[in-house]
Amino acid sequence: MSGTSPALIAAREADAAAASAVKALQASGRLDDARERYSELVARHQRRASRIAYHYLRDAAEADEAVQDAFIKAYQHLASFREELPFDVWFTRILINGCLDRIKARTRRERWLLPMSGQSGPATADGTTTERDVTERVPAGGQSPEQALLGRERRQQIAAALAKLPERQRSVFVLSHVEGRTSREVSALTGLNESTVRVHLFRAIRKLRGMLANDRVAAAPGELKGRRRVTS
Amino acid sequence: MSLLERLGRGHLTDRDFANLWVASESAAGTSDPHLDACAACRARYDAFERWIVGVGNELRAEADEAFPADRLSAQQAQIARRLETLERPARVIAFPKAARAVISGNSHVRRWVTAAAAAGLIAGVGLGQIVPLRTAIQVKPRAATSTPAQLTAHETQQIAQQLTPEATLRNDEDVLSEAFARPRISTLSALDDMTPHARDTVLNHRGK
């Protein structure tokens, strides 16, 4: 599982080519073509970006805005992008910084606001959302309402446990387990030392295991093969 | 942790599993001698692995549920719109014509209003020179008088002494005869002579 899969290598080469093309088009003043080409990069990375932003911010609307801002910022600063670094790593770093800024701003805001009972919207103290009633969501295809309800409760428990982790542990866990990044990539994304990343990951797993002691979410046996390599 | 320590301590714990899981990422095929030898620990480790993969899957599913395909399409369209507006120069909005007409019109009304205002000003200044409005308006300052509240006890006593008991005990006849008496102001005597008096009427009536 260490190293990089051929599919990922191919995807990164495609990213690098697209980013170089957009840069060249921007430099030559062909901005319509540059935007057109950039939309390829957006389409390729937006789902992954949305997941990361969502796990940081725990609010779909705010995550949406954060992703948009990150893509706009990346487009504006594409001239400073160095091709030797993978585009997704460079972009994810922009996204994470944006999310952290938003979390800081939210914390400042919430310092002056009284919590409202039954408040709909983003995160509560334990990271769960009060907004999403089960009936609001259409169950995934083939699921009975009961299964959907149980699945929803389980996800809420996991999300609440994840939200209780310290920020760095949470970041490392999300990037590593949800996005399937290697420790080296997580290190590049977060600016942490590679061994520090592994320590945070270890601690995050231990804490989650403790908090979700009664929860034994089992993955299908086939899913273990691909383990942490996740592609959108 | 050495092999001897692990063997001596017995089966692997969750902590060991987490350690092995994290280590397996950096070094492919990392294995543990006890794990290879002990079927029970292997089974527990597999369960641990399933659990951790399941957690990742659940978190991914939750995020994907919050971002369905239509939302992602809308997001992409919004990004394209924002990029387009980013490069378009800001549009300058023309100043409204109506506001300009009100401020700088050349109509006859405006001229007449200006002329009337000037004429009014000149007339006002001229009239002000002719009529001594200032002196007419000016109010002479009142003589300083003391109000009862300002009087001291000594002053109040003096005033009370000036009021003789005789003055207060005059009868009605005296008061009337004083009222009928000629005025003491010499400048008004001429006017008084020309004016018929109630006193004369009463005396004539008595004489009859």
Q: Report pLDDT digits (tens) over A86-109.
A: 888 899 999 999 999 999 998 888
A129 φ, ψ to 5°? Answer: -110, 140
Q: Is the ipTM of this complex over 0.90?
A: no
Q: Count how many domains chain A has.
A: 1
Most confident stretch, A2-6, A148-152, A208-212, B122-126: B122-126
State how far the Cα of B12 lies from the Cα of B35, in Å rounded to an integer: 8
Q: Does an H or E element contain B113, and which? A: helix B108-130
Report CA-CA distances (Å) from A85 to A80, A88, A181: 11, 9, 15
Size of interface A-B (CB pairs under 8 A): 146
The DSSP call for residue A139 is P
SS3 label, residue A123 = strand
Least confident of A96-105, A166-175, B154-163: B154-163
Measure the CA angle with vertex A80, ends A186 and A39; round to 5°. Answer: 80
Residue A85, domain member (yes or no): yes
Q: Is the pLDDT of residue B30 over 70?
A: no
Given pLDDT bands bounded at 50, 70 and 90, which one contains residue B3?
low
pLDDT value for A133: 43
CB under 8 Å to A14, separation ≥6 — which residues?
A44
pLDDT value for B166: 57
Residue A212, domain member (yes or no): no
The DSSP call for residue A127 is S
Cβ contacts (< 8 Å) between A216 and chain B: which residues? 47, 51
Domain CATH for A105: 1.10.1740.10
- Is A206's Cβ below 8 Å from some Cβ in B? yes
The DSSP call for residue A135 is G
Residue A191, domain member (yes or no): no
State how far the Cα of A152 lies from the Cα of A135, in Å rounded to an integer: 11
Report the residue from A39, A54, A230 with minimal CB separation from B66. A54
- Is B70's Cβ below 8 Å from some Cβ in A? no
Mean pLDDT on A143-163: 81
- The boundaries of the domain holding residue A11 are 1-118
Q: Is B104 or B40 the better-scoring residue by pLDDT?
A: B40
Asked if A58 and A159 touch (Cβ cutoff 8 Å), the reply is yes
pLDDT value for A185: 85
Residue A89, domain member (yes or no): yes
- Is A171's Cβ below 8 Å from some Cβ in B? no
Given pLDDT bands bounded at 50, 70 and 90, which one contains residue B139?
low
Q: Is the pLDDT of residue A139 over 50?
A: no
